[in-house]
């Protein structure tokens, strides 16, 4: 194995550690790290992020024009210009998209679903906001560690308050509040800490997740003192991960979806997701 503790720490990596130290180890091993494989859902997620980025960019869509903006055209435009990967300047071809979605009809159905998801969210969203940043990569140093992430949107709410938003295109979380979500997912604290460092004027930070399909928002407001507390928590987890030399597997409810299942020492003890089903015989 070629495991190296990362120089720059992203929330997804630390979440791996919280869930399973062995998964964190695999994720930071260049010989084992799973390669990203595009799915119809991830393609749609990228399109939606791209459309929202353009929609809230006042250089592309002035605030007073947002209400009239044709989302269908925006989705079609972004759909046809999806890069094959982050480093590529090539777009998915029509043929490659058909293969990804299975057929033209299925591709169209996903496209209509994406338009519906965006319309649903934007119908209820505050269209007067002025973002400070959109989908920017950001980072800061905390206690000698560099933490980083790509924050979907930061809004300036007043001279002393900002909001940080992350768009979700999947299912609603199991947890019912941000307090419960952050027990095992440090993405929101990461973003709040970074945004607080980069926007020192902000005494209050609203941080939240927007589940577009359901127009559901999970949010919380933190002051600087609370952000300092979150920072301590994140530093402690980073220190623990760095000093952990065993990095043992920890079986959890997501094991059957784990991309490292094949190399996991606990593989034989993990219940398979395809349980035997006895169909009804009437």
Cα separation of 24 and 12, whole Å? 9
Residue 19 CB, shortest distance to ligand SF4, in Å, is: 6
Query: Residue 170 in 3-state DSSP?
Result: coil
**Which range, of 28-36, 79-87, 163-171, 254-262, touches ligand SF4 by CB under 6 A?**
254-262
| Residue 23 interacting with ligand SF4 (CB under 6 A) | yes
Report the interhelical angle of 71-80 vs 40-56 (nearest 10°).
120
Any contact of residue 130 with ligand SF4 (CB under 6 A)?
no
* Cβ neighbours for 164, distance < 8 A, ≥ 6 positions apart: 151, 153, 154, 188, 191, 192, 195, 205, 206, 207, 208
Q: For residue 45, what are its two tokens?
A: 């997620």
String marking each residue 171-210 x if it binds ligand SF4 according to CB under 6 A: ----------------------------------------
Judged by CB, which is closer to ligand SF4: 69, or 266?
266
* Residue 251 found at the interface with ligand SF4 (CB under 6 A): yes
Minimum gap (Å) between residue 25 Cβ and ligand SF4: 9
Residue with smaller CB distance to ligand SF4, 124 or 273: 273
Minimum Å gap between C-beta 255 and ligand SF4 is: 3
| C-alpha distance from residue 249 to each of 102, 111, 267 (Å) | 36, 39, 10
Is 20 one of the binding residues for ligand SF4 (CB under 6 A)? yes
CA proximity to 23, closest of 269, 262, 273: 262
Strands 8-9 and 204-211 turn out to be unpaired
| 22 lies in the site for ligand SF4, by CB under 6 A | yes
Residue ranges that bind ligand SF4, judged by CB under 6 A: 20, 22-23, 249-252, 255, 258, 260-261, 264, 266, 270
């Amino acid at each position: 194995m070629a495991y190296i503790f990362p120089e720059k720490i992203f929330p997804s990596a630390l979440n791996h550690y919280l869930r399973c130290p062995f998964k964190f180890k695999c994720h930071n091993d260049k010989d084992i790290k799973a390669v990203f494989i595009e799915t119809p859902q991830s393609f749609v997620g990228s399109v939606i992020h791209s459309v929202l980025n353009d929609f809230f960019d006042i250089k592309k869509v002035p605030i007073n024009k947002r209400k009239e903006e044709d989302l269908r055209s925006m989705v079609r435009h972004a759909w046809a210009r999806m890069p094959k990967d982050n480093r590529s300047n090539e777009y998915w071809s029509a043929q490659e998209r058909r293969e990804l979605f299975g057929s033209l009809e299925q591709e169209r159905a996903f496209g209509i679903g994406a338009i519906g998801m965006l319309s649903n969210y934007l119908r209820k969203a505050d269209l007067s906001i002025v973002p400070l940043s959109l989908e920017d990569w950001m980072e800061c140093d905390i206690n000698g560690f560099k933490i980083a992430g790509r924050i979907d949107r930061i809004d300036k709410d007043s001279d002393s308050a900002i909001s940080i938003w992350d768009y979700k295109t999947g299912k609603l979380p199991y947890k019912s509040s941000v307090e419960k979500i952050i027990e095992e997912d440090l993405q929101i604290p990461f973003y709040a800490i970074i945004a607080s460092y980069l926007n020192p004027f902000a005494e209050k930070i609203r941080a939240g997740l927007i589940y577009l399909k359901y127009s559901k928002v999970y949010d919380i407001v933190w002051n600087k003192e609370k952000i300092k507390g979150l920072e301590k928590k994140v530093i402690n987890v980073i220190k623990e991960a760095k000093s952990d030399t065993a990095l043992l597997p920890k079986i959890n409810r997501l094991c059957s979806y784990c991309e490292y299942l094949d190399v996991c020492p606990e593989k034989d003890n993990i219940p398979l997701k395809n349980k035997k089903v006895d169909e009804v015989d009437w």
